[in-house]
Structure formats: C-alpha cells, structure tokens
Amino acid sequence: MNSIGKIGVLLPEFIDPLDYELLRGIHTEAAALGYNVIEKRIGKAEQLLEFSDLRIQEIALQCGYHNESHFMRQFKVKVGMTALQFRQSR
C-alpha cells in the first residue's frame, strides 16, 4: 500500500481495514483533544471577561487566539452570545 493510502487521502474502500481503523481512532482522539483545547480557552476567556478590564483583543491573545475574529466566532458558538454580551451580562 502506498503512503497516500496510509494517511487517509484515498477513500476508505482503498485503505487496508486495519489501517483505516487506526486512522479513524487517531482522527477521533485528535478531534477530542481539539475540543478540550477550545473548551479550556473559552473557559479562560469567560474568567478574564468577568474578572478583568482587559480588552477583548487582549483576552483573545491571552487565550491563544491570534485572530480576534476567530475567537469571537468560537466564543459565540460555545457560549451562545458574543464576548461583549457575556461581559455586559456579568
């Protein structure tokens, strides 16, 4: 089997079943890890919004976001309101 098939670029039917299961497991673990990282970042942002006077851009940077727009989108999806609305509600 070529290396392209092993990294999951081909359709599942072209990958050895054991390799496919391994790749699925790796993908699932990576997705869970990414979810946990986002949860921790948003949790830290909530604390900073509630207990500090930092600007939202500074909070985004402190929470590991280098793009304020990306932070704002993820915050709204996870919390259900914008960071500014969250701050004002506290």
Q: What is the DSSP string of 19-82?
A: HHHHHHHHHHHHHHHHHHHHHHHHHHHHHHHHH----HHHHHHHTT-S-HHHHHHHHHHHHSS-
Given a contact cutoff of 8 angstroms between Cβ atoms, the answer to whether 77 and 38 are in contact is no
pLDDT at 11: 54
| pLDDT surpassing 80 at residue 19 | no
Given a contact cutoff of 8 angstroms between Cβ atoms, the answer to whether 8 and 23 are in contact is yes
| pLDDT surpassing 90 at residue 74 | yes
Query: What's the mean pLDDT when you consider all of the chain?
Result: 83
d(CA 48, CA 25): 35
Does domain 3-89 fall under CATH 1.10.10.60? My reply is yes
Rounded to an integer, the average pLDDT of 24-36 is 73
